[in-house]
Amino acid sequence: SLSATQTLLVVVRNSSPDFTVSLGTTNVFAGQSSSVPLRLSAGVPLASASFVLETPENLVTNLVLEPLAPEIGSASLQAEGGGRFGLSLEASANASLQGLDTVARLRFSAISNGPSAIAVLRPVSVSGSLHDGTALRGGRSVEGRVFIIAREPLLDAAMASGTRALTLYGQP
């Protein structure tokens, strides 16, 4: 009888992110203040998470990061110029940022002059670290949006759970 044996090595890489940073979506009248949630979902016990927030600098101003979760020991937001802000979240002593949801709110003011607009809040350069100092660069980000309502209405087309939705924003 004839037979052959061959050894094959199969490598399966984990392509899912260790953690995800996402910003919420809201609408606000021009010249008013509002906020969006900052969510963190981590499958590993993070000691810290950070990212750069890119915003259209002429649409939202006066950004303030307000920590909400008791696991947050410190939260900072530093202007880098050009509509870019460095955000950092650090776990408090003996705590981890793991399996969380809304950890902070990002407060802002919308411009008071100009047409209606959509400000995209884009987290980039997402990174984190474990308590032993191991750096994690595999973080995922989900952008948020701010619909700034002035005189003109705005129409948003989106997909949610496989369903198409149209939302019209405007003055009452």
| pLDDT (tens place) for every residue of the chain, 172 residues total | 676 667 777 766 555 668 899 999 999 999 999 999 999 998 888 999 999 999 997 899 999 999 999 899 999 999 999 999 999 999 998 888 888 789 999 999 999 998 999 999 999 999 999 988 888 877 899 999 999 999 999 999 988 788 999 999 999 8
Contact 50, 88 (CB under 8 A): yes
CA dist 106 → 4, 35, 67, 88, 159 (Å): 63, 5, 9, 12, 24
DSSP 97: B
CA dist., res. 150 & res. 28, Å (int): 9
- Measured from the Cβ of residue 67, the count of other Cβ atoms closer than 10 Å reads 18
